[in-house]
Amino acid sequence: MDYLNLAATTGGIMLIIGSISLYKGKALWSLFFYFIADLCWLMMAISENKIFGAISIIIGITFSLGVFYKMNKGIFHKDLRIKKGE
C-alpha cells in the first residue's frame, strides 16, 4: 500500500514542477512533467481496479503526447496574445 502513497506524492510533485515550468515559459518541459504525473496516476488507477479512471487517463495521455509531438516538431503554433484589428 506504500507504493500508492509514493505514486500520489510523485504525481503531485511532478504537477508542481510542471506548473513552475509552464510559469517560466517552458511549455515542452511542463508537458513532460505532466506526462510523468499522468503515468503515476495511471499506475494508481490500475492498482485500484478503477477501469473508467484508467481509460480517462489513457485518453488524456494520448492527447498530451499529440500536443508534445506537435510542439516538438514546430507544427503547433498557438499565440495567446489577441491581435487588435483582425
Q: Domain for residue 33, yes or no?
A: yes
| Residue 80, pLDDT score | 54
The whole domain housing 23 covers 2-73
Total domains in the fold of the chain:
1
Q: CA quadruple 73, 75, 79, 84: dihedral positive or negative?
A: positive
More confident residue, 86 or 4: 4
pLDDT digits (tens, 9 = 90+) for 33-74: 999 999 998 998 898 899 999 999 999 889 888 887 887 777
Q: How far apart are CA 64 and CA 31, in angstroms?
A: 7
Q: What are phi and psi of 14, to 5 degrees?
A: -65, -35
Q: Domain for residue 26, yes or no?
A: yes
Q: What are phi and psi of 53, to 5 degrees?
A: -65, -40
| Residue 82, pLDDT score | 61
| Residue 86, pLDDT score | 53
